[in-house]
A and B are shown apart, each in its own frame.
Chain A
Amino acid sequence: MDIRIRHIHKSFGGFPALVDVNLDIRSGELIALLGPSGSGKTTLLRVIAGLEFPDYGEILFGAENMARKPVHERRVGFVFQHYALFKHMSVLDNIAFGLRVRPRSWRPGEAQIRRKAVELLDLVQLGGLERRYPHQLSGGQKQRVALARALAIEPRVLLLDEPFGALDAKVRKDLRRWLRELHERTGYTTVFVTHDQEEALELADRVVIMNRGCLEQVGTVDEVYEHPRTPFVFDFLGGTNVLDAEMHGRKVFLRGAEQPLVTDVIHPDGPADLYVRPGDLRLADPGSPGIDVHVTAVQRTGPIVRASAKLLANGTGISIELPHLHHDAARFHAGATLRLKMMQFCVYPRAASVHAHPITDAPEPTAAQSQERTRA
């Protein structure tokens, strides 16, 4: 089911939780709403579900406007962070709930309901546990029961609110992979909320990055990671170094570097911020231009070597990450003076730190519109 969200506004007692949100969700897509807490991602999910009503705007399921319909008429599968299983019902009764509360005219027979529930239990790989009660299940099992319960009503869209948030790291990883497989097998249009960028990037076809009730960027994992449209997006998807820079045409003058860098994007002349990820820094080839740094500390965490350094030019702190097997890694030790090159970077005019500013052509027209609007 295609879902189109148009100009959704929602505020809670004067606090704007969603500001003119526009989003197209394609049928069969697995899409992540990613953002820090308070960014409005859960509110958006709940508005799609009908657990909250927008102040204005439209939510179209196909051609039908759902914005005013209560949740029980929308046929959405909603999975909560803390499972929300009915404690007094067995696993089977939990899964069958959605079918049993249907009006008699289109409720399946009891035998059929049971068969369907058992089928779903097998689908979530919990076959044989139908007589257990929720308190006899582990967290991961509970969440899978909750998912089976949501799937039982054959939802038009599956909505997951931080589905793995309450689970420990190992279970979370397994369940993530399993959910991806399940999605490929069942093909339900799925929206899930997370504040974990790794989870979003691993699981989703497209990622929606939210900040203060606005959509910052919508795009595939590659798009948002390689071409973060705003400093916020850049910063949110992994660590960041921010360096002082000056724009002149396509040239970026960085303090401490002898030669300007060249970008393929035109920015207004003037002060700017250069964003570079710690993992995108490498040693410069001998004799080639770069930025000179003085290494202050080196720390190894698992397969990653992290180094802290200061720019020789102005003392700005910078962090570098290398895989431990990389041949440069050995040359990083405290006290060393090295020349670094940037494999990838983004430049944002200084004013952009306050307002979103697209640096590439918008791959998602609705998101571009929303940003234009928020700036206006």
Chain B
Amino acid sequence: MPPTKHPSPSRSPIPGFGLTLGYTMIYLSLIVLVPLAGVFVKAAGLGLDGLWPILGSPRVLSALKLSFGTALIAAAINLVFGMLVAWVFVRYEFPGKRLFDATIDLPFALPTAVAGIALTALYAGNGWVGQFLEPLGIKVAFAPLGIVVALTFIGLPFVVRTVEPVLRDAEKELEEAAASLGATRWQTVRRVVFPAILPALLTGFALAFARGVGEYGSVIFIAGNLPHVSEIAPLLIVIKLEEYGYAGATAVAAAMLVISFALLLVINALQAWTNRYRTQRHVEPALPHPVLQGAGA
């Protein structure tokens, strides 16, 4: 005689699961999945024979390389300096701190075109900064370097704002414990503080990178947009669209999607690895359930 089974034991005690899950799925589908799938369907319509000539063309390749390369460099720069900024904001008190704190968010709020124009004016050969760099042979505006500058500007708040709360919540006691065990300040930061904020740093990096890849407004002003040199992939898509090359545009878009997705996957895996000590690890091998075993015999 099997024991009486309670009706639907998997039911969560919190009601409304079906409704909320349904809503979430519909929302995700409408906003994210359907448009993305559309890109792939459209691109797939070209067939491999149609795709390769487009993606393999030097202009597209260099645009993709430029977009992802500059986004990675800018995110890496933000990783280092964003951490520094967050550290300073959390750990030190200084006059005007709140004002500085507010300016960090400016790249979030500013229309990116404004940022692009401002940066171009600064770094152009006759700009405030550019006039000093140009004689040294450093060309920022209308060159790939300018793209890095723009993306760094755009991405900074992502790292600062993700690291800040984690750093603020980091227990002061951990640092005191490390110091009492004989660790110098540097050893404490490297071995105790840094590992604690590493997952947040990676999140910030991923966000800054993703933002950088998709950035358009600020870059097209400062980049100069020379094909093969300083033409980013999103701009190339726009150009292709303007030339009614829908298939080509979707092919580039699909390529960007795939590469972005792969890179974010890698970053996520990295993040999971840095977080490994937070997840439950099974130390003892799981024993077979005694009741199930009995039933089998």
Chain A interface (Cβ < 8 Å from any Cβ of B): 49-51, 70-72, 74-78, 80, 82, 84-90, 97-98, 101-102, 131-133, 135-136, 146, 149-150, 152-153
Q: Pick the 9 closest A-B CB pairs, nearest first.
A: A98-B181, A78-B180, A84-B173, A84-B177, A101-B183, A88-B195, A133-B277, A71-B179, A72-B179
Rounded to whole Å, the gap between the CB of A367 and the closest CB of chain B is 27
A67 to B177 CA separation, bound complex (whole angstroms): 19
Does B280 have its Cβ within 8 Å of any Cβ on chain A?
yes
Which B residues lie within 8 Å of A71 (CB)? 176, 179-180
A102 to B176 CA separation, bound complex (whole angstroms): 16
Known A135-B277, A136-B283: A102·B174 in contact at CB below 8 Å: no
Rounded to whole Å, the gap between the CB of B22 and the closest CB of chain A is 34
Rounded to whole Å, the gap between the CB of A100 and the closest CB of chain B is 8
Beyond A86-B178, A101-B182, list 15 extra A-B contacts (CB 8 Å).
A74-B180, A75-B182, A76-B180, A84-B177, A85-B177, A86-B191, A87-B278, A97-B183, A98-B182, A101-B187, A135-B277, A135-B280, A136-B280, A136-B281, A136-B283
Does B101 have its Cβ within 8 Å of any Cβ on chain A?
no
Q: Which partner residue on chain A sits nearest B183 by CB separation?
A: A101
Number of interface residues, chain B, beta carbon within 8 A: 23
Contact between chains at A150 and B181 (CB < 8 Å): yes
A347 to B163 CA separation, bound complex (whole angstroms): 60
Q: Which partner residue on chain A sits nearest B283 by CB separation?
A: A132
Which B residues lie within 8 Å of A101 (CB)? 178, 181-184, 187, 191
Which A residues lie within 8 Å of B176 (CB)? 51, 71, 78, 80, 84
Known A71-B176, A78-B180, A97-B178: A86·B192 in contact at CB below 8 Å: yes
A97 to B190 CA separation, bound complex (whole angstroms): 13
Contact between chains at A88 and B277 (CB < 8 Å): yes
Does B145 have its Cβ within 8 Å of any Cβ on chain A?
no
Query: 24 A-B pairs, CB-CB below 8 angstroms?
Result: A49-B180, A51-B176, A71-B180, A72-B179, A72-B182, A72-B184, A75-B182, A80-B177, A84-B177, A85-B177, A86-B195, A88-B195, A88-B196, A88-B274, A88-B277, A89-B277, A97-B183, A98-B182, A101-B191, A133-B277, A133-B281, A135-B280, A149-B177, A153-B181
Which B residues lie within 8 Å of A132 (CB)? 283
Contact between chains at A131 and B283 (CB < 8 Å): yes
* Segment 164-181 of B: residues with Cβ below 8 Å from A: 171, 173-174, 176-181
Known A72-B182, A131-B283: A78·B191 in contact at CB below 8 Å: no
A85 to B195 CA separation, bound complex (whole angstroms): 13
Which A residues lie within 8 Å of B278 (CB)? 87, 135
A102 to B178 CA separation, bound complex (whole angstroms): 12
A146 to B274 CA separation, bound complex (whole angstroms): 23
Which A residues lie within 8 Å of B182 (CB)? 72, 75, 98, 101-102, 153
Contact between chains at B191 and A51 (CB < 8 Å): no
Which A residues lie within 8 Å of B181 (CB)? 72, 97-98, 101, 149-150, 152-153
Q: Which partner residue on chain A sits nearest B186 by CB separation?
A: A101
Which A residues lie within 8 Å of B283 (CB)? 131-132, 136
Pick the contact of B180: A77, A86, A88, A102 (CB < 8 A): A77
Interface centre among A77, A84, A102, A136 (most CB of B within 10 A): A84
Q: Which partner residue on chain A sits nearest B175 by CB separation?
A: A84
Which A residues lie within 8 Å of B180 (CB)? 49-51, 71-72, 74, 76-78, 150
A264 to B278 CA separation, bound complex (whole angstroms): 64
Rounded to whole Å, the gap between the CB of A103 and the closest CB of chain B is 9
Which B residues lie within 8 Å of A49 (CB)? 180
Known A88-B195, A136-B283: A70·B179 in contact at CB below 8 Å: yes
Q: Which partner residue on chain A sits nearest B274 by CB separation?
A: A88
Which B residues lie within 8 Å of A70 (CB)? 179
A102 to B280 CA separation, bound complex (whole angstroms): 31
Q: Which partner residue on chain B sits nearest A87 by CB separation?
A: B277
A17 to B190 CA separation, bound complex (whole angstroms): 33
Rounded to whole Å, the gap between the CB of B64 and the closest CB of chain A is 36
A78 to B192 CA separation, bound complex (whole angstroms): 16
Which B residues lie within 8 Å of A87 (CB)? 196, 277-278
Which A residues lie within 8 Å of B196 (CB)? 87-88
Interface centre among B181, B184, B191, B281 (most CB of A within 10 A): B181
A136 to B278 CA separation, bound complex (whole angstroms): 9
Which A residues lie within 8 Å of B277 (CB)? 87-90, 133, 135
Q: Which partner residue on chain A sits nearest B282 by CB separation?
A: A136
Rounded to whole Å, the gap between the CB of B131 and the closest CB of chain A is 47
Contact between chains at A78 and B177 (CB < 8 Å): yes
A76 to B182 CA separation, bound complex (whole angstroms): 9
Complex interface bits, B257-291 against A, C-beta within 8 A gives 1, otherwise 0:
00000000000000000100110110100000000
Q: Which partner residue on chain B sits nearest A133 by CB separation?
A: B277
Interface centre among B173, B177, B179 (most CB of A within 10 A): B177
Rounded to whole Å, the gap between the CB of A318 and the closest CB of chain B is 45
Which A residues lie within 8 Å of B192 (CB)? 86
